[in-house]
A and B are shown apart, each in its own frame.
Chain A
């Protein structure tokens, strides 16, 4: 019986991500069908969609593989420019087929970004921690500056994508395609993480040396994760290029990378559901602050944004608020249904103290010198020593 209960719990966990995305999609669809969907709300939904893609794909790198990457906006930039350029080109060839243009450009943008992911993955094989962070940071800056200086991509004026803007005032439907992409991505990444390959990836995060000693091909998995993450970030970039004109290099700055990282950290490293909630939250806060603040407060938008972030982080982590969190958090709400498990877990935590390690050499030397030692072999050594002394 107990086992049965456990499997049902796990299953709910498996589907919670789809439920969240489905709820957002449903919200948009209901508004669309009742005719109440404003263009700004549709754009917010699209923004939420690509934020989720960015955050979840970065979480794969930072949370699961354990490599700090500060260049995620760089992959998005590649996707946005390449995919956008491709879409503009396709638009001239077949002006009526919006969805097909979106799909093709997304694949191309994603694949080109994945190639860059492979290139950035290579130094990650040798660099650790801060050093890799700096390399990825530099990558992000280089990419956007390269695109800024290409006249083919519009130079400093940005890539004009006006003709491919997907949403019109009458039919803002891009969010449907976006959420389908999000669902596919969640499916793929969640399955990956919960398979033997996901275990290999988390094993590399937890202890690379041990992972190698267990025969895990660290090179392969690191590159693989960077490629997958870059592919989806590229897709997010293509979506962005379908909502905005012009696609400006300044959007993909260091700040954007940090914003994605904030979503990941806020949601919890290695927690896909957390990433989804955090990215929806941040996209929403951004939207509200941009549209609702007026008068003198409008110029303080970034300040308000920062304060909200600080409050959320403190609320989520401050030890003093621990009791409050345990009482009123979402997980506490759910654990009310399985209170027994939670109680057991606490007992376990109290029980499992780690025994301190101690190197034995000193102990050996001291027992060796003691002739009364009960360890027979040490006794032998002692005797021999004694004989040597007699001579």
Chain B
């Protein structure tokens, strides 16, 4: 069958006595659109932080495309191919939209230029800058941000900031894209547009996507498979429709019947 892109084995972390995540086993195949859901405080973002190296797991391992990335630093994990967006948008606010995307292109070997070639304006610097700018424009065009490319990121409307964050993450040329609540704070129209965008990225870029979301409409609409977390543990796993009808999941969200 299809190849495995991300595999976590008993991934877990505890802060003192608090087990924020434990025994999380997720397997994501290539080109999957995978959802990670759960009530507030279930440990979804903690899992993201583990996968991107913000936290180091206390137990378990995770593999990207067969390569063990456990214990690596954030920047090297990103270079190995995991890019993410943030729950509360973290753009480079005082930089222009296009610069934001170009920061994402920073480590691509295609645009190599050492600090000293840049400082002395050697030809390699100009070549790299031009290629980066062209690539960034391509990406911005895809996300419909071309018009605003020279505005500061903080002056963008909310929906576009979300899009820019996704564009910036894609600029790092990842194998796996992690989206942390991409629809948070969006109105239904924006959410619908976002669903299209995510589907588009999944199809056109052949991107494997793992997303956290509370908007069940979005999750049910685009995710093929789901993992439900509750109190740091996997509660249910499998195809979207089955998982969402699982009594245990419903109980976790809505509470127990008396």
Q: Which residues of A contact B (CB under 8 A)?
A: 188, 191-192, 195-200, 202-203, 205-207, 209-218, 224, 270, 348-349, 352-361, 364-365, 368-369, 375-378, 380-381, 384-385, 388-389
Contact = CB atoms under 8 A, between A and B. Distances in A.
Interface in B166-204: 168-169, 172, 181, 183-185, 187
Contacts of B183: 360
A352 B90 contact: no
Contact of B86 (A198, A210, A215, A218): A210
B111 interface: yes
A378 B91 CA distance: 33
Given A199-B106, A203-B103, A213 B257 contact: no
Contact of B151 (A203, A348, A389): A348
Interface in B209-254: 214-217, 219-220, 244-245, 247, 250, 253-254
Contacts of A360: 181, 183-185, 214-215
Given A195-B129, A196-B113, A214 B78 contact: yes
Contacts of B91: 206-207, 210
A355 to B, nearest CB: 4
B119 A191 contact: yes
A38 B111 CA distance: 51
18 contacts: A196-B128, A196-B129, A198-B118, A203-B95, A203-B103, A211-B92, A212-B75, A213-B74, A213-B90, A215-B75, A224-B115, A352-B151, A355-B157, A359-B214, A361-B39, A368-B253, A369-B254, A377-B219
Interface in B22-80: 39-40, 52, 54, 73-76, 78-79
A217 B75 contact: yes
B75 A218 contact: yes
B125 interface: yes
Interface of B: 39-40, 52, 54, 73-76, 78-79, 83-84, 86, 88, 90-95, 99, 102-107, 111, 113, 115, 118-121, 125, 128-129, 132, 151, 154-159, 168-169, 172, 181, 183-185, 187, 214-217, 219-220, 244-245, 247, 250, 253-254, 257
Contacts, number: 170
B240 to A, nearest CB: 9
Contact of B94 (A202, A214, A368): A202
B125 to A, nearest CB: 6
B39 A353 contact: no
B146 to A, nearest CB: 13
A215 B172 contact: yes
A389 B106 CA distance: 56
A207 B106 CA distance: 15
A260 to B, nearest CB: 22
Contact of A199 (B76, B93, B103): B103
A213 B118 contact: no
Contacts of B216: 364, 375, 377-378, 381
Nearest to A374: B217
Contacts of B107: 215-216
A370 to B, nearest CB: 12
A155 B110 CA distance: 54
Contacts of A192: 115, 118-119
B170 to A, nearest CB: 11
Contact of A349 (B74, B93, B155, B217): B155
B120 to A, nearest CB: 7
B74 A212 contact: yes
A380 B106 contact: no
A191 B54 contact: no
